[in-house]
Amino acid sequence: MNYRELATALEQLAHRLSKHADKLEGEALGSQAHRLLEDARKVAAQVDAHLASRKSGEWLLETLLRSPGAKRHLTLNALRKLVRETLGKRLKADALPAAKRELIDLAHAQASGQAVADALRGYLSEAASVKTGKKEKDALQQEFVALGSLSDEEFREAAGNRHLAELRRLASANGIPFTPKTPKVRLLHLIRHYGQRAVVNLMPPV
C-alpha cells in the first residue's frame, strides 16, 4: 500500500463516519474507534515531523549523510571543512559517525539544513567525478593501435628504442598491467601482443 491509497481509505472511512455518525454506537465500535484515534494522532505527528524535516532540508541532509556516496567519499576532514565553510563552526567530534550527528544538530540549531545539504551534495558530486587527462589518453590509445598494426620489424623500429617511461605511459593508458620491476623487454612484448589483439578485435564482426 502506498500513502495515496492510505489517504483514499481514510477519506472513505471519514465519509462513512460523517454520514452515519448519528447511528453509530456500542462498546466494541467505541473502543476500536478510540484506538484508531490514538494511532491517527501518532501518525499525524509523524507526518508533521517528516514534512518539517523535508522543508528544512534536514531530511535530505540525513539521507545524504547515510548515502552510499557518503560512505565511500566522506572523510572526517572533509566533513570538518564543510562545517567550517557552511556553518562557520568547528566540529568537536573526532570520529566520523559522531561528527555526522554533530553536524545534524548544528544544522538544526542554525536552521541551515538545506544549505548544508546542498554543500554536501556538491561535495559528493565532485568526489564521484572522474578526472582523466582525456586528450593525452586519446593520443596514447591511437598510438597503441598504430603500433599494433605494424609488422614485427616495423614495431621493433618504431618502439624498440623508446625510453622505459614512455612505454610505461603507453601501457598505462591502454590498461596493460605492469609493475615498477617490469623490464623494458617484457613491456615491449605486452604492448606488442595487446596492440595486435586490439587491432583484430576492433574489426567489425560483420
Partner 1 sequence: MPVILGSELGLINARVRRVMGVQPAAAPTMGTKVLAFINFKGGVGKTATVVNLAATLVKLHGKKVLVVDLDAQSNSTLWLMRPDQWREHVAKGRRSTFQSFDDAFQGKERFNFDEAVVQGVSTWTGFTELPALHLLPAAVDLLRVEDRIHEMKPSLAPRLLDRVLSEHFKRYDFVLLDCPPNLYTTTKNAIYAADGCVVPYVPDYLSLSGFQVLAEQVGEMRSRWESTLPRRRRPNISALLVSHYRQSGNVFRLAINELELSLAQLRARDVIPATTAVLEPYVRHCVRVAESTSEHLPVILYAPGSIGAQDYADLAENFLKHFR
Q: Is 130 in the site for partner 1 (CB under 8 A)?
A: yes
* Stretch binding partner 1 (CB under 8 A), from 34-42, 77-85, 93-101, 152-160: 34-42
Residue that the C-alpha cell 573526532 belongs to: 94
Q: Which residue number, 129 or 151, has a Cβ lying nearer to partner 1? A: 129
H helix intervals, the chain: 3-20, 27-56, 58-65, 68-73, 76-87, 96-109, 113-128, 134-148, 152-159, 164-173, 184-201
CA 51 remoteness from chain centre: 24
Q: Which amino acid is at 170?
A: L
Cα 135 → chain centroid: 27
Using CB under 8 A as the binding rule, whether residue 114 contacts partner 1 is answered as yes
In the set 79, 82, 99, 117, which binds partner 1 (CB under 8 A)?
Answer: 117
Closer to partner 1 at the Cβ: 72 or 156?
A: 72
Helix (H, G, I), strand (E, B) or coil at 164: helix
Binding to partner 1 (CB under 8 A): which residues in 74-93?
none
Q: Is 186 in the site for partner 1 (CB under 8 A)?
A: no
Quote the Cα angle for 42-60-49, to 5°: 15
Tell me the closest approach of the beta carbon of residue 113 to partner 1, in angstroms.
10
Instruction: State the distance between the two ends of the chain, measured CA to CA, in whole angstroms.
Output: 51
Pick 90 or 134: Cβ nearer partner 1: 134
DSSP SS3 for 110: coil
Least Å from the CB of residue 92 to partner 1? 25
Three-class secondary structure assignment of 73-109: HCCHHHHHHHHHHHHCCCCCCCCHHHHHHHHHHHHHH
Of positions 26, 28, 59, 77, contacts partner 1 by CB under 8 A: 59
Cell readout for 127 is 568526489
Tell me which stretch binds partner 1 (CB under 8 A): 77-85, 94-102, 103-111, 170-178.
Answer: 170-178
CA-based radius of gyration for the chain:
32
Question: Is the CB of 18 or the CB of 153 nearer to partner 1?
Answer: 18
Residues that bind partner 1 (CB under 8 A): 1-4, 6-7, 10-11, 13-14, 17-18, 21, 24, 30, 33-34, 36-37, 40-41, 43-44, 47-48, 50-51, 54-55, 57, 59-60, 63-64, 66-69, 71-72, 114, 117-118, 124-125, 127-130, 138, 141-142, 144-145, 174-177, 194, 197-198, 201-202, 204-206
